[in-house]
Amino acid sequence: MSLSSSHSPVKVLIVDDSSFMRTALSRMVESDDSLCVVGTAQTGLETLAKIGALQPDVVTLDLDMPGLSGLETLKRVMSESPRPVIIVSSTARRGAEDTLEALELGAFDCIAKQLSYDSLDVLKVQNELVSKIKAAAGPRLLASRLSRRLDCPPLHLAPAHRAPTATVTVPSIIAIGTSTGGPKALQEVLSTLPADLSAAILIVQHMPIGFIGPLAKRLNDLCPLKVHEAEAGDLITAGHVYFAPTGKHLTVRRRSSSEVALRLSLLPSNLLNIPSVDVMMSSVAEVFHSSAMGIILTGMGDDGALGMQAIFREGGLTLGQDQASCVVYGMPRSCAEMGVLNQVVPLPDIPRQILAALRYRKPH
């Protein structure tokens, strides 16, 4: 059942200073009957005027515009007429850094902008754009039309299938998976954890190519922990955070009783998400068994459900972000429905749960 079958289409405003991009994005959006482009804009001031006149449900926003910049436009949208904004950004370094700032300011998500597309790229970007617009419009439609989101039926938790263990192993590694809403959520979690954390952290964050390096650098500057983009052969070290690079799966391999190294791979290549949370977490479960901790945060889709299940079955600890604090309750929901979460907690409580699992004591 589509949104259009019982509701008017989701109204979208396309903002880009390039005529080519406005046309390309408009065609992508209108490929789905449940979405409708109600207008386009070339500048920041035109964007603000058209939001007031057209009242779109979702805005796609270019950050590199003449006059009022995309970031200044976003600030004004969020203060004057808040609504979901999806950033359509260049993958150049400045574009990536501006996009991360936009996400911190309240943008819903981002997609990468390319000046030209082959047929496969068009389909991939189109599917990504359409799915993110629908996810962004969900809460607004729920509030404005007093309607339950059609892709979000009532949650019925599946029963847990793991027998309780007599003792709980202290984790030596923490695997985190996230997507939409992840950069801001990760900043909240990681900035609260101490530099002398007794475990390493591996993270898969779904983002376009070119964004993970700047995200890791930004978090490294903000957090006590040492945050890196993972490199093949890195030895896992407590107190360090390793991000999977976009386009490569992150796994682990035990080299000795005391050394575990990171591996990067293009395979499997047939998965929707590369890197995959499932691939990373399943590898962690296989190597670390009950001394692994899995955490699933806000995000679209169900990547991570099988990985969390693997950690759960090995006797590791599994933690899910609750619905109320998620930007999109997709990935945690899938884990909850499979019955593979030991705990479901609000985002602000996750750092405390990590420290409790590690039996952390603040040094005197």
pLDDT digits (tens, 9 = 90+) for 10-24: 999 999 999 989 999
Q: Among this protein's residues, is 303 annotated catalytic?
A: yes
- Which residue is catalytic, options 90, 179, 325, 334? 179
Mean pLDDT across 265-278: 96
Q: Among this protein's residues, is 57 annotated catalytic?
A: no
DSSP label at 181? T
Q: What is the C-alpha separation between 71 and 17, in angstroms, rounded?
A: 14
Mean pLDDT across 303-330: 97
- Which residue is catalytic, options 206, 234, 282, 325? 206
Q: Among this protein's residues, is 118 annotated catalytic?
A: no
Answer yes or no: is pLDDT of 322 > 60: yes
Neighbours of 130 (CB within 10 A): 19
Cα atoms in the Cβ-side hemisphere of radius 13 Å centred on 130: 21
- Which residue is catalytic, options 89, 276, 303, 334? 303
Q: What is the C-alpha separation between 243 and 19, in angstroms, rounded?
A: 36
**Domains detected in the chain:** 7-145 (3.40.50.2300), 173-357 (3.40.50.180)
Helix, strand, or coil (residue 205):
strand
Answer yes or no: is pLDDT of 153 > 60: no
Q: What is the pLDDT of residue 120?
A: 61
